Amino acid sequence: MPFYEVDGDRPARVVLEQIGPTSFRIVAPFRYVDSVSGEQFVVPDPRWGDQQTDLASVPGILQWFVPRYGQHTLPALLHDQLVDHDLVDDRERADRIFRDAMGEQNVRFLRRWLMWAAVSISTIVQRRWLRLVPIVAWLVVFVALAFRLTPPFASWDVWAFNTLVRLPWWGAVLAAVAGPPLLAAVWGRRYLVGVISGWGVFLFAVPVVAVVLALAVYWAGEWLLRWLDTRSRHGRPSDPPPATAEVHDRAAS
């Protein structure tokens, strides 16, 4: 258990104070000991005083798979501090500590490696947004393979999809499974990030689109019902003014 209370060797607890709809303050500091280097980190670091956090920064469309809090909460709080305050020599090391800490917190294997790949992509494109272009192209290929295997998208006849439409289903499966490890050499020393991201988007592209469509229906219904409620409120007759008692001065009368 590498997460401890600041004073003593008892396991760390997550104690938070909510200060906004999605923001919190860490009430009980904790410390983490890196199992590789032996270095110790305190969260929140007293050099920067109280720090706000939004817990794990997960887009809403992915929170069905990675909630904003859970067994990964302590590693996420640690990673935020390592990255925000440059407490390690490079972000790659911060990402590695994040992945290892999730393993030590018993975060499920697939989830922690996908989360590591996500923060690693963020590290790659940090202040170098042109690097995002080949990454997006890489991900789009495996998204297209996922839709090739999903009715009714499998029969789409659009320009960007024509080659995949002619590909048999078993060919699409083979490309999705073998493609990332065979082609991820283009990622160089980030080979594992390429492999995991390719497999990840193939697995989750269709569910994410389904979630987006469901949320679109929900928010459309939410907007419509609010609008109808507002209209009905404006259409109601206004309430009469509160009754007032008249007091007559008998002496004056």
9-65 pLDDT per residue, tens? 888 888 888 888 888 888 888 999 988 888 888 888 767 666 778 888 888 888 888
Amino acid at 135: I
Q: What is the pTM of this model?
A: 0.80
Answer yes or no: do 195 and 106 share one domain: no
Answer yes or no: do 7 and 109 share one domain: yes
Answer yes or no: do 118 and 159 share one domain: no
Answer yes or no: do 171 and 110 share one domain: no
Answer yes or no: do 147 and 182 share one domain: yes
Answer yes or no: do 115 and 139 share one domain: no
Task: Answer with the one of 97, 127, 157 that is the final residue of a domain.
Answer: 127
Answer yes or no: do 117 and 192 share one domain: no
Amino acid at 189: R
Q: What is the pLDDT of residue 111?
A: 93
Answer yes or no: do 4 and 123 share one domain: yes
Q: Can you tell me the mean pLDDT for 109-137?
A: 90
Quote the number of domains for the chain.
2
Handedness of CA 184, 190, 193, 196 (dihedral sign): positive
Answer yes or no: do 104 and 138 share one domain: no
Percent of the chain whose predicted confidence (pLDDT) is above 70? 83
Beta-carbon-side half-sphere exposure of residue 178 (alpha carbons within 13 Å): 6
Which residue would you say has higher pLDDT here, 151 or 74? Answer: 74
Does 87 fall in a domain? yes
Q: Can you tell me the mean pLDDT for 94-98?
A: 94
> Comparing 72-86, 143-157, 223-237, which segment has the lowest mean pLDDT?
143-157
| pLDDT tens digits along 139-178 | 998 988 888 888 776 666 654 555 666 778 788 889 889 9
Q: What is the pLDDT of residue 154?
A: 64
Q: What is the pLDDT of residue 197?
A: 95
Q: What is the pLDDT of residue 156?
A: 62
For residue 212, the enclosing domain spans 128-234
Q: What is the pLDDT of residue 250?
A: 46
Q: Can you tell me the mean pLDDT for 93-97?
A: 93
pLDDT at 180 over 80: yes
Answer yes or no: do 17 and 40 share one domain: yes
pLDDT band at residue 247 using 50, 70 and 90 as cut-offs: very low
Does 250 fall in a domain? no
Does 149 fall in a domain? yes
Task: Answer with the one of 104, 127, 150 that is the final residue of a domain.
Answer: 127
Q: What is the pLDDT of residue 106?
A: 94
Answer yes or no: do 169 and 57 share one domain: no
pLDDT at 244 over 70: no
pLDDT band at residue 252 using 50, 70 and 90 as cut-offs: very low
Does 244 fall in a domain? no
Q: What is the pLDDT of residue 173?
A: 87
Which residue would you say has higher pLDDT here, 222 or 232? Answer: 222
Does 246 fall in a domain? no
Q: Can you tell me the mean pLDDT for 196-214?
A: 92
CA 25 to chain centre: 19
Answer yes or no: do 2 and 106 share one domain: yes
Does 216 fall in a domain? yes
Does 93 fall in a domain? yes
Provide the b/e sequence for 34-73 (b: ≥16 CB within 10 Å): beeeeeebebbeeeeeebebebbebeebbeebbeeeeebb
Does 243 fall in a domain? no
